[in-house]
A and B are shown apart, each in its own frame.
Chain A
Amino acid sequence: MRIRFSPFYLFFLIGILLVAAVVLRVEKKETEHKIVVVIPQDPDYLDPHLASAAGTYEMMFNVYEGLLKPAPDGTLLPAIAERYDITEDGRSYTFYLRPGVKFHNGQTVTTADVRYSLERLMGTQTGQPLSSYFTKVEAVETPDAERIILKLKEVDAALLNNLTTASIIPKDYQELNTHPIGTGPFRFVEYRPGQRVLLEKFDDYWQTGRPFLDKVEFRIIPDREAALLALKNGTVDIYPRIDNNRTAELGEDFYTLRDKQNLVQLLAMNLNRKPFSDHRVRQAVNYAINKDELIELAAFGYGTKLGSGLSPAMANYYEPGLEDFYPPDRAKAQQLLAEAGYQDGFRTVLTVPSNYPFHVDTAQIIVEQLKKVGIKVEIELVEWAVWLQRVYKGRDYEMTIIGLAGKLDPLPTLIRYTSDYANNFFNYKNTEFDRLFQQAADESDQEKRAELYKKAQRILAEDAAAVFLMDPHYTVALRKEIAGYQTYPLYIQDLSTVYRVSKKPR
């Protein structure tokens, strides 16, 4: 039989080719092991030593590393340093470089790079420190190719924790702000302002087998509504810090992870103003507020009750049991108010930053709760800039609600309550607290230090320095096929352990 040429065959052939091309293309797209994470804002600087925004750190955590690294439980893991020794007097730290750690440009990390990075932060050459964390470090010494020795002027208990944020960068590398180079699991590919930050897998990462993903994209979507839509229609895969009241809308294809975010949400009372200068009034306010009801109403139950200035996310330093120091008790509150001479209650103003709907909601509930013991509170909403200027810096307020973000170390959180701290907007003064705090700062033994901080927390609770409300949980919404996401008590997205279930990690 003779095969006649006909246009039909041609079309048929072209058709098959087209279908194949589409299929292959889809196939190719599928083989790319990539996920998209939505974030609300642009990075401020790509240079890790200049960046100060938490939103930058959460992304660049995947690109840069310090000598040590935080673990999901808030403890420390060795990273660029393989191990370290501390001398008895706590004034000299010796770090041993992990052999064979590579920068994204292929160079091996040397002690010179580490020294350069730390000295850049300390401002040894320029005289202008880029970070306030290392003021107690006198000198960085690199006697050989393995050891980095930090000599301290005085004991600095927070040093190890602070080193996690001291990113190690290549010596004398000048293009950090446009082409970041670090040692993290992902290397920087591109940043398009207002659109995205793209990272790709770093094949020579020192932790073998990590990361699992080939590519990570941080999609910048400032509007929460748009971010939620992007998650639902599949444009993005992970939505960190989704509003707790929106998770019900997500449906079958998603799941959520929740954890404490190491944030202390509190109701501050200006201790320099009447009637809050009276210890009994502050205690009465504490007794009048029902934290369980508050957590249920404002955070849909997703919050951990607090009793003092630290979140239980800092498990090592947290003093448990204080959260019920002032159980809700209206009769007691009224009795204390009467003792202080306010048997008919009083009027006051609660200043709330209007850009935090969560605090505004909390304020409305607190108004209702305090009304029941006769304290009439009027809410005053102010812009964030006004809040910072007038309340935080100017200390011109009666009551306010704010969330204080915790670090890996308790020091930056608890220093806020020391008498002479510049931003002690509580106007809290207690010599015993100051003494314990100073003692803890000078203590290099972590166990003893934790004990001192626990005592300090108890004092804050006894003095009713504020009403410590809750650590609201943050919620991460993920597509069902994504696994391996780890939550941290820090503002970071660790994508080194994340993978798609369809592409099982090797």
Chain B
Amino acid sequence: MRKRKTSFNLVIGGLLVGFFFLMLIVSFFYTPFAVNEMHTTERFLPPGKPYLLGTDNFGRDIFSRIMKGTQTAFLVGAISVLIGLVIGVCLGALSGYFGGWFDRIIAQLNATIQAFPGVLLALMIVAVFGPGTINTIVALSITAIPGFTRITRSGFLQFKEYSFVEAAETIGLGPLSIMIRHILPQIVPALLVAASTGFSSALLAEAGLSYLGLGVQPPEPSWGRMLNEAQGYLLRAPWFSLAPGCVILLAVLGFNLLSDGIRDLFDPNL
């Protein structure tokens, strides 16, 4: 086996993601200012002291709001990826392992969902069921399912032909045990890569929905919503829009690099 190299992607991605996780944890206990508190006489202050990233049109501290926005972004991202992962893996495993009519139905459903661009589908769901955090999570979960289903299914299709599976069958193990104990561990790396990419696209989609006013409701901070609020003051207070913009960029970049890094780590030939 070749020696594993620590990849550049993994380090940078890991650092960025780690930074955001740190910010997430800290934000539960401490923000420099109360997130929704309006300092009415200190509006549009440029970055400096005591407002690290300046203040917005109501005199709220932008840095505190970005920190709090991490909660929203990660909550939506994590839950929707988790739901997508669990449902996707179950469906993918069953259809890959057993095949037949079940496989065909799942494949058709997958194709149907994937026929719509992800954000558009999420938009449709939110437009029908109304805005809000829960509906955003539901919408993004549904768009996340097909990707995981496909990866799991192809993994199961591939590995069920291997001799170690046949061996397991000959000693009398049941299908459930084979699926969970023997095949699933083989595709964990691929799922990790997909989860990390999925997380970054969920972040982006959440920001997009909030930007359009369909995600988190004001005054709760969300990166996308902050961008929306800032756009009217683009020239007057550029830091107001730059801050959430850069944060979204860095978070998405971090998760994408991380997923590249994980892929390199487990399978350098890919």
Contact = CB atoms under 8 A, between A and B. Distances in A.
Interface in A211-251: 243, 245-246, 248-249
A368 B236 CA distance: 24
Contacts of A140: none
By Cβ-Cβ distance, the 8 closest A-B pairs, closest first, are A364-B219, A354-B213, A249-B235, A364-B218, A379-B217, A379-B218, A368-B38, A245-B232
Given A296-B40, A368-B38, A368-B219, A245 B58 contact: no
Contacts of A381: 131, 213, 217-218
A366 B36 CA distance: 12
Given A297-B38, A365-B58, A368-B37, A243 B232 contact: yes
A367 interface: yes
A354 B213 CA distance: 7
Interface string A314-353: 0000000000000000000000000000000000000000
A17 B213 CA distance: 59
B39 to A, nearest CB: 11
A237 B218 CA distance: 36
B236 A245 contact: yes
A209 B37 CA distance: 57
Contact of B232 (A357, A363, A365): A357
A248 B57 CA distance: 14
Nearest to B127: A383
Contacts of B57: 245, 297, 361
A380 B220 CA distance: 12
Task: Tell which of B40, B43, B233 has the most Cβ of chain A within 10 Å.
Answer: B40
Interface string B21-38: 000000000000000111
Contacts of A249: 235-236
Contact of B233 (A245, A364, A368, A380): A245
A269 interface: no
A293 B59 CA distance: 12
B240 to A, nearest CB: 11
B265 to A, nearest CB: 43
24 contacts: A245-B232, A245-B233, A248-B236, A297-B38, A297-B40, A297-B43, A297-B59, A354-B213, A357-B232, A360-B218, A363-B218, A364-B36, A364-B58, A365-B58, A367-B219, A368-B36, A368-B38, A368-B219, A378-B217, A379-B217, A379-B218, A381-B131, A381-B213, A381-B217
Q: How large is the interface on A (under 10, 10 to 19, 20 to 34, 35 or more residues)?
A: 20 to 34
Nearest to B219: A364
B213 to A, nearest CB: 5
A380 B217 contact: yes
Given A357-B232, A368-B36, A368-B37, A297 B217 contact: no
Contacts of B43: 297
Contacts of B36: 364, 367-368
Given A245-B57, A364-B58, A368-B36, 19 more contacts: A245-B232, A245-B233, A245-B236, A296-B40, A297-B38, A297-B43, A297-B57, A297-B58, A354-B213, A364-B36, A364-B218, A364-B219, A367-B219, A368-B38, A368-B219, A379-B218, A380-B217, A381-B213, A381-B218
Interface in A433-470: none
Nearest to A378: B217
Interface in B238-260: none
Secondary structure of the A contact surface, majority rule = helix
Interface in A374-424: 378-381
Interface string B125-147: 00000010000000000000000
A365 B59 CA distance: 11
A496 B129 CA distance: 50
A297 B218 CA distance: 16
A470 B44 CA distance: 23
A246 B233 CA distance: 7
A285 to B, nearest CB: 18
A245 B217 CA distance: 23
Nearest to B232: A245
Nearest to B36: A368
A363 B233 CA distance: 19
A384 to B, nearest CB: 12
Nearest to B37: A368
A380 B132 CA distance: 9
Contacts of B131: 381
Contacts of B37: 368
A243 B234 CA distance: 13
Nearest to B58: A297
A362 to B, nearest CB: 11
Contacts of B236: 245, 248-249
A293 B217 CA distance: 23
A243 B57 CA distance: 14
Interface in B108-154: 131
A183 B33 CA distance: 62
Contacts of B59: 297
Given A245-B57, A246-B232, A379 B40 contact: no
Contacts of B58: 297, 361, 364-365
Contacts of B218: 360, 363-364, 379, 381
Nearest to A225: B231
Nearest to B132: A380
Contacts of B38: 297, 365, 368
B234 to A, nearest CB: 9
Contacts of A293: 40
A296 B38 CA distance: 12
A280 B260 CA distance: 62
Nearest to A383: B127
Contacts of B232: 243, 245-246, 357
Nearest to A243: B232
B60 to A, nearest CB: 9
A365 B37 CA distance: 10
B124 to A, nearest CB: 14
Interface string A270-314: 000000000000000000000001001100000000000000000
A360 B217 CA distance: 10
A323 B35 CA distance: 31
A363 B36 CA distance: 13
A65 to B, nearest CB: 38
